Amino acid sequence: MNFASGGATSSPEDEPEPGSSLADNDEASDVALMLRVRDGDLEAFETLVTRHQHSVVGTAAKMLGGTADAEDIGQQVFMRVWKHAARYQPSAKFTTWLMTITRNLVFNELRRRRRSQQVSMDADEGDTIRHQFVDEQAAAPSEEMLDSELHQAIDSAIASLPEAQRLAIVLRRYEGMPYEEIAEVLKTSVPAVKSILFRARAELKARLKKYLE
């Protein structure tokens, strides 16, 4: 699980850029579908939802730490796509536009969580007691358990990153999005994106050190 390709001293520019003619064809198809959606074509809209819902919900889940709220975010994203279809202009890639909507809704949800975060001491103590009981009864960890622990550690490490770093990592690592598109989604420059990713990978490598050795 090499988040910092080439080691801690590697430059973020060293990583090759994803992309292919197939991706270009997909983008052209997305734009054609979205132009039909702009004219009120429900079938074209359903095709776009089917094509991109996994990516949208997956990105939201990695940002929010779970699938329940992520599925709700996914529904809101595509509701906005339909509602604002008349404003769509194919001046940017469709996936960039889609992920910008996803970013806005995810960041709104994260802000809402911070405002409403009130964890009771009783709940914390109850969780501690339950975890202690499970630990005392646990058998030697199996390979499946260790693999699950690694995935949980990765998810936890990503969740600990600042929001911009987290989203940049998710879009780059899991969605294969090029730097230019990530810059548009985050409303920043390409050099800033590379710097954000470099810091994020260094932090992830430090947090996951025991699994990478």
- What domains, with CATH codes, occur in the chain? 18-116 (1.10.1740.10), 147-213 (1.10.10.10)
Query: Burial level of 175, CB count in 10 A (0-12/13-18/19+)?
Result: middle
pTM: 0.74
Please report, as a single letter, which amino acid is at residue 105. Answer: L
**pLDDT tens readout for residues 110-127:** 988 888 775 543 445 455
pLDDT for 67-109, tens place per residue? 889 999 999 999 999 999 998 888 878 999 999 999 999 999 9
Residue 187 near residue 92, CB atoms below 8 Å: no
